[in-house]
Amino acid sequence: MKSDSSSAEAVYIRALCLYQEDWEQGLKCLENVIRLDPDHSKAKAMIVKIRKFQEKEKTANKLLHEENYRAVSTQISEALEISPVNSNFFLKLLFNRAFAFSKMGLFRDAIKDCTRAMKNSWAVTKCLRLRADCYMTMRRFQNAVTDYEALLNMEKSKNYKIN
C-alpha cells in the first residue's frame, strides 16, 4: 500500500477493509481519499454511511444506559442496516439488541438475535486461522504468532471445539 499511497482508489479499498474492524480508522482513511480526490463519490457516500452509523450507535448506547429498551432496539435495527454483516460491529449490535429484547420480555427475539450472532461468529475463528496461515506463507511470523495465540485463547475459553 505504501508504494501506491497516492492512488485514491487503492486508499479507498484499504478504507473499506479497515472499516470492517475499526470504523474510526476506516473513516480517517476515507478522509485521505477525499484529500487525494475531492470528487471520489464512493468515499463521500461511505463517509456519510459511517457517520450515520456512529450516530445510531451513540444514540443506542445512551438509550441503553437510560434503560429505554424499545428505543434501543429501534436504533440498533437501523444501525444493523448500515453495518457490514459479520463485522464485529454487526455482532456487537446483535448482542445489544438481544439484551434490549430480553429486558422487554421479548425472549424469542432475543434468542433469535443471539442465535444469529453465534451462527456468524464462526467466521471470526475461521478468518483468524486463515489470516495466520497467510502470514506464515508471507513469512510474517510475528503477525502469525499473534493470530495463532488469539485463536488458542479463544478456543481455550470455549466449552466446545470449533471445526
pLDDT at 103: 93
pLDDT at 160: 44
Query: What does each C-alpha distance from 131 to 40, 63, 134 come to in angstroms?
Result: 30, 37, 5
pLDDT at 19: 80
Q: Cβ neighbours of residue 43 under 8 Å, at least 6 residues apart? A: 8, 12, 15, 30, 33, 34, 37
Residues with pLDDT less than 50, the chain:
1-5, 159-163
Q: What are phi and psi of 122, to 5 degrees?
A: -60, -30
**Single pTM value for the model:** 0.64
pLDDT at 158: 61
Contact assessment for residue 29 and residue 13, using Cβ atoms and an 8 Å cutoff: no
Q: Cβ neighbours of residue 98 under 8 Å, at least 6 residues apart? A: 109, 110, 111, 112, 113, 114, 117
pLDDT at 130: 78
Query: What does each C-alpha distance from 115 to 42, 100, 111, 150 come to in angstroms?
Result: 33, 15, 6, 23
Euclidean distance between CA atoms 107 and 44, whole angstroms:
39
Distance of CA 66 to the CA centre of its chain: 25
Euclidean distance between CA atoms 50 and 56, whole angstroms:
10
